[in-house]
Amino acid sequence: MDKKFEFLEHTADVYIAAYGATMEEAYENAALAMFEVMTDTEKVAPAIEETVEVEAEDEYALLYTWLETLLVKFETQNMLYSKFKISSLQETPVGFKIKATVWGEKFNPAKHTQKVAVKAVTYHRMMVIKEIEKVTLEFILDI
């Protein structure tokens, strides 16, 4: 896909549509879009590799939990991420599970431009749209 994500019109918050040829790619691009709201992700070196696992009861809660987990890592560990690879996205008897590797580095105000602070991920207007060879994830970030 040419376009990984785009910012949609919203009066107060950040409304994002993240795209992928697969569900995994769409979730990766959703995470990239969230960090792009906060900083210029091209300046975030993939210096530190971490594993992230999240589980949720449905694909909406999975998107919320995936993004919220990464946002909490930023808030508690000062980590910015610029590269995401979901190695496994599977349906389980109780919902869905993601296992991913993320790469980034600690926030450095001299290197990383501060754009907008993301306060929270929301369920408001969240959509998971599955088409042939294309997945679109729409969500709003509270800023």
Range of the domain at 43: 5-142
Instruction: Assign residue 45 the CATH number of its domain.
Output: 3.55.10.10
Which tokens belong to 16?
């994002």
What is the pLDDT tens value at each position of the chain, 143 positions in all? 678 988 777 667 889 999 999 999 999 999 999 999 999 999 999 999 999 999 999 999 999 999 999 999 999 999 999 999 999 999 999 999 999 999 999 999 999 999 999 999 999 899 999 999 999 999 999 99
Domain count, the chain: 1
